[in-house]
Chain A
Amino acid sequence: MIEIKDLHKSYKMGSNSLHVLKGINFSVEDGELVAIMGSSGSGKSTLLNILGMLDVLDEGSYTLDGVPIKDLNETKAAQYRNKFLGFVFQSFNLINYKSAMENVALPLYYQKVGRKERQEKALKYLEQVGLREWADHLPSELSGGQKQRVAIARAMAAEPKVLLADEPTGALDSTTSYEVMDLIQKINDAGNTILIVTHEPDIADMCKRIVHLKDGVIVEDKKITQVRASQYV
């Protein structure tokens, strides 16, 4: 699904440049649930941004579902993001003046899906995350866990190839975190490919594979036995 070869990325900071990713080789199969771990500054977020086409790579190659991702202009990148990727953010990033349903329907709007179909799909995905009754509520009326579940529903609504989650539990307490992880595991069980950036070991343990990043290189890449989150809920 994801194929990364010899990926380099550096940022210019004034006169000197900061080499963040120093040759990453990494691939993800269909249906995997991967945790990308590392301390802050290890380059894990940068990697996720490049995977999410929010940032461009300097060197190396990136292939997503057989499509080489290179020389993207903003328009093309936006279209690929819309078609291939779903995003879940640490701070939820729901649009505060749109109801839960409208938030979930937003990526479908950019896919040019009609209004009626958009609403139906949005309700279906809200149902999947158990928030159907909250469809008409604004984000400000939802708890943190609920917001993140709405965000996950939104990421899923576009039916992406890969779900990218950047510290999805970073702003949640542990009980809520496990609820969210339970949801992510269920989505993964349904066959979706998911990448999670986290620095919490217990969250990483709930994935099927852990990739450790340190100073811009992968120091460890291992498959693990998944800890089911449902046992904590």
Chain B
Amino acid sequence: MRFLFDSNTWQEIFGSIGKNRTRTIITVIGVLWGILIYIVLSGAAKGLDNGFEKQFQNVAMNSMFTWAQSTSMPYKGFKTGRQLQLKLNDGVLLKNRIPEIQYIAPRNVKGIFGGSPAQTIRNGKSGNYAVYGDYPISTKIATKKIYDGGRFINDEDIEGARKVCVIGERTQKELFESEENPIGGYIRIDNVFFQVVGVHKYTPGGGFESDSDIYIPFTTFKKLYNTGENVGWFAIAAYDDADVVQVEENVKAVLKSIHNVNPKDERAIGSFNLGEIFNRIVGFAKGLTFMSLVVGIATILAGVIGIGNILLISVKERTKELGVRRALGATPKEVRSLIILESVFLTMLAGIMGIILGAGVLSLINKLTKGMDFPYSNPTVPIPYVLGALAIMVILGTLIGLIPAQRAVSIKPIDALREE
């Protein structure tokens, strides 16, 4: 160990590395390339991962939607092809029977799955927009960003079936003058006056919603369109630790039993599971990370083997020098350590340079993709990965250095000196 911290040792190593510049540079490039690829790949994978997460950040990851369709099997005396209708009470039952459900929001819409979009008029300007009947809890499942000064529908709106609405960015643009503050203004939706309480910011990324949607309280929707207890669909968020796929199955089973549907009927209840989609994307990102790990390590390995190879050649080239050193009193251990330390030092040097360069490339990619519609953000490589890569390199550098070192020692000084 003392040998390792002896400044003389390092002078010898620096001497031998510094004086064989071409060899050093070629060796370093091999490993540098490996670690560079490793860093860039795993950083990019992480960036992609972050990017996906960012895209989905306004939707609860473990959320699902369920709606009623028509039966495809006869059951309990009901004939096939019966149109089902979800009711408000279904939501209460679901919440009671399935403990994994954190939030459940009944929703209705006019102008997307059926019915014509609501004719909306203000001061002679008009447009046709989809109208949603919503509970405040909706925002727990899919975040709605509301512009400053406004709000989303609240519980009092629901209780009083108030005629208030949250309009979209485009709705605002089309119905209001640009300098006008829409909050507090009145618009006429299907001949009923509504007061605007908020403007929502549209976030792309999934679903059928758009930047022109109008949200009104569920209870108001019920009165306006005479929908009674009917629910268009339920948006459901499960607890973070719940298996949303299981929840989806449970929800459908409960709904089938409520509505007297054959439990084997696959078509009666429709559903869409965001968690599953998200898991697939996360799985893709994970696969990418894993692949980058494999590719990176393989490349590092190739680089280190390259170092071993070049050192082997260099030992051959330096046979005479090593012979002289031994004639002058270098013990086999000293010769071996010299070669191994050269190997480790070169690997480390290349590794650190590769990490720095890789970080540079990553930040460059980050800069170039910023502002682009591309799921990529904040590409980073976790420190343990970096340290792990360095540790692997030191270990591999030592192991690979052993081969030329052993070769160097196995040559007898007398043979080394005789070689011309």
Digit string of B309-351 for contact with A (CB within 8 Å is 1, else 0)? 0000000000011011111111111100000000000000000
Tell me, rounded to whole Å, the shortest Cβ–Cβ distance linking B338 to chain A.
11
Q: Is the CB of B324 within 8 A of A54?
A: no
The stretch that binds B, out of A91-99, A178-186, A196-204, is: A91-99
Of A52, A78, A93, most B-chain CB atoms within 10 Å: A78
CB distance from A64 to the nearest CB of B (A): 14
Are A106 and B325 closer than 8 Å at their CB atoms? Answer: yes
A95 in contact with B8 (CB, 8 Å): no
Within 8 A of B (CB), among A181-221: none
* B178 CB → nearest A CB, Å: 76
Q: How far is the CA of A73 from the CA of B287 in the complex (A)?
A: 54
Question: Are A75 and B327 touching (Cβ within 8 A)?
Answer: no
Interface residues of A in 77-132 (CB under 8 A from B): 78-79, 81-83, 87, 89, 91, 93-98, 102, 106-107, 109-112, 114-115
Instruction: Indicate if the CB atoms of B414 and A55 lie closer than 8 Å.
Output: yes
| Contact in complex: A78, B420 (CB < 8 Å) | no
Known contacts A89-B417, A97-B16; A79 and B332 CB within 8 A of each other:
no
- The residue on B at minimum CB distance from A154 is B328
Chain B: interface residue total (CB-CB under 8 A)? 28
Residue of A nearest to B329 (CB): A82
Give every chain B residue within 8 A of A25 (Cβ-Cβ): none
Are B330's CB and A110's CB within 8 A? yes
- The answer, yes or no, to whether A133 is at the interface (CB within 8 Å) is no
Q: Nearest CB to that of B330 among chain A residues?
A: A110
- Cα distance A70–B420 in the bound complex, in angstroms: 29
Complex interface: chain B residues within 8 A of A154 (CB): 328
A158: chain B residues at CB < 8 Å are 328-329
Contact B321 A95 (CB under 8 A): yes
A158 to B333, alpha carbons, bound, how many Å?
Answer: 20
Q: Is there a chain A Cβ closer than 8 Å to B412's Cβ?
A: yes
B11-26 contacts to A (CB < 8 Å):
11-12, 15-16, 19-20
A109 to B323, CA, bound (A): 16
Bound together, the chains give a CA A113 to CA B325 distance in angstroms of 15
Answer yes or no: A42 CB below 8 A from chain B CBs.
no
Task: Give Cα A75 to B333, complex, Å.
Answer: 8
- Does residue A49 face the partner (Cβ distance < 8 Å to B)? yes
- Asked if A97 and B19 make an inter-chain contact with CB atoms under 8 angstroms apart, the answer reads yes
Which single member of B12, B332, B334, B417 contacts A93 (CB below 8 Å)? B417
Residues on B with beta carbons closer than 8 Å to the beta carbon of A71: none
In the assembly, what is the distance between CA of A207 and CA of B275, in Å? 95
Partner of A97, one of B20, B325, B333, B334: B20
Contact residue among A81, A87, A110, A114 (Cβ-Cβ distance under 8 Å from B334): A110
The answer to whether B324 touches A81 (Cβ under 8 A) is no
Report if B83 contacts A (CB, 8 A). no
Q: Which residue on chain B has the smallest CB distance to residue A109?
A: B8
Given A54-B412, A54-B413, A93-B320, are A74 and B332 also a contact pair (CB < 8 Å)? yes
Q: Of B20, B325, B412, B420, which one neighbours A91 at CB under 8 angstroms?
A: B420
Contact of A115 among B11, B20, B328, B333 (CB under 8 A): B11
Between B12, B325, B333, the greatest number of chain A beta carbons within 10 A of the residue's beta carbon is seen for B325
Cβ contact within 8 Å between A98 and B15: yes
Using Cβ atoms and an 8 Å threshold, which residues of chain B touch A49?
A: 414
In the bound complex, do residue A54 and residue B327 qualify as a contact, i.e. CB atoms below 8 Å apart? yes
Cβ 8 A contact of B7, one of A75, A87, A115 = A115
Residues in chain A near residue B320, CB distance under 8 A: 93
Instruction: Establish whether residues B328 and A79, one from each chain, have CB atoms under 8 Å apart when the complex forms.
Output: no
Once the chains are docked, how many angstroms separate the CA of A78 from the CA of B328? 7
Beta-carbon contact of B330 and A78 below 8 Å:
yes
Report the separation of the CA atoms of residues A218 and B328 in the bound assembly, to the nearest whole angstrom. Answer: 28
| Smallest CB separation, B85 vs chain A (Å) | 89
- Binary interface encoding of chain A residues 150-178 relative to chain B, with 1 for a CB under 8 A from any of its CBs, else 0: 00001000100000000000000000000
Contact across chains for B327 and A52 when beta carbons are under 8 A apart: yes
- Nearest A residue to B20 via CB reads A97
Asked if A75 and B329 sit within 8 Å, CB to CB, the answer is no
- List of B residues within 8 angstroms of A106 by Cβ: 325, 328
Residues of A within 8 A of B329 (CB): 78-79, 81-83, 107, 110-111, 158
Instruction: Write out the residue numbers on chain A whose beta carbons fall within 8 Å of the beta carbon of B414.
Output: 49, 54-55
What is the CA–CA distance of A154 and B131 in the complex, to the nearest angstrom?
A: 96
Query: Which B286-303 residues have a C-beta within 8 angstroms of A?
Result: none
Contact A110:B328 (CB < 8 A) given known A93-B417, A95-B321, A115-B11: yes
> What are the 4 closest A-B residue pairs judged by CB atoms, nearest first?
A82-B329, A97-B19, A110-B329, A54-B414
Q: What residues make up the interface of A, taking CB atoms closer than 8 Å to B?
A: 49, 52, 54-55, 74-75, 78-79, 81-83, 87, 89, 91, 93-98, 102, 106-107, 109-112, 114-115, 154, 158
Given A81-B327, A97-B15, 10 other A-B residues pairs in contact with their CB atoms under 8 A: A74-B331, A78-B329, A89-B417, A93-B320, A95-B321, A97-B20, A109-B8, A110-B330, A110-B334, A111-B329
